[in-house]
Amino acid sequence: MSASTFCHGAHVQANGIRQHYLRYGGAEGARARREPIVLVPGITSPATTWGFVAERFGRHFDTYVLDVRGRGLSAASDTLDYSLDAQADDLNAFVQALGLPRHSFVGHSMGGRIAIRAAGRRPAGLARVVAVDPPVSGPGRRPYPAALPWYVDSIRRAQQGISVAQIREYCPTWSEAHLRLRAEWLHTCDERAIVTSFQGFQSDDIHADLARIEVPLLLMTAERGDVVREEDVAEIRKLVPGMREVRVAGAGHMIPYDQEESFHRAFGDFLGHPLD
């Protein structure tokens, strides 16, 4: 087993809130010649639950995993704005606060929508965007293929203390390691944040943002997820003609949880170096 690439966890004040992140890899050696990567997890995935992905990224890139507001150790409150606009502003402010002159975004699910909206604002220094199975729901479109009670019920149980066996009821195909992390960290997901984000899947139009992206875009989709269908890919390609797209065989929506090696191979050399 190779040595861990984990560097440290830290907080930064950006866009008026405390943002927590985990850093992997660092900026030494060959990583210093490549753009840093900011990983943005999904709706109920605190940064630590994506540490296994960041470990691989950290071999080749200076990598930052963000706790989206209302998740993990980042700011959360009953009065905080949990909209997609606020999340996108957080992301662009985060890289500015860290002083990253060039960087790339890799976002999964909700994180992909955040990365798309942030990129649509054409921030200085953005090099590339990877959207991993982002919900393509929105005004006038089919709904996101998941039910809000699945999230809310599991969070409320986690707040009381939830076992691995109980978490498995919600995520029956996950490994023991992933279940344990979710059981430990799910209680940090603010219910209001999750409800607002879920409702935003239906009301926010990311297709308008896609049309404004000026940097290279990689769209990664799950064969078994039913989140992004072939017709969705075709529509997005019209908005972003130079887009690259890869479909991961045998994977559900949580692609690296289902097909970890295929997930990493799917990036190819898009980020400037393969994730070997």
Predicted pLDDT of residue 189 = 98
pLDDT at 20 over 80: yes
116-132 pLDDT, tens digit each: 999 999 999 999 999 99
**Count of domains observed in the chain:** 1
Banded model confidence at residue 43, pLDDT cuts 50, 70, 90? very high
Residue 195 is assigned to a structural domain of this protein: no
29 band by pLDDT with thresholds 50, 70 and 90: very high
What is the residue-averaged pLDDT of the chain?
Answer: 97
- When pLDDT is cut at 50, 70 and 90, the band that residue 1 belongs to is low
Three-state DSSP class for residue 18 = strand
276 falls within a domain:
no
200 within a domain of the structure (yes/no): no
pLDDT reading at 16 higher than 80 = yes
Tens of pLDDT, residue by residue over 169-213, are 999 999 999 999 999 999 999 999 999 999 999 999 999 999 999
Distance from chain centroid for Cα 216: 18
Strand-by-strand arrangement of the 103-108 sheet: 6-14, 17-24, 63-66, 37-40, 103-108, 126-132, 217-222, 244-248
What pLDDT is stored for residue 143 in this prediction? 96
Residue 223 within a domain: yes
pLDDT at 2: 73
**Containing domain of residue 69, as a range?**
6-142+205-266
pTM higher than 0.75, yes or no?
yes
Residue 97 scores a pLDDT above 60: yes
> Using CA atoms, how far apart are residues 118 and 112, in angstroms rounded to an integer?
10
Q: Is residue 222 part of a domain?
A: yes
Asked if the structure places residue 164 within a domain, the reply is: no
Q: What is the CATH number of the domain that holds 100?
A: 3.40.50.1820
On whether residue 191 sits in a domain, the answer given is: no
With respect to residue 179, please indicate whether it lies within any of the assigned structural domains.
no
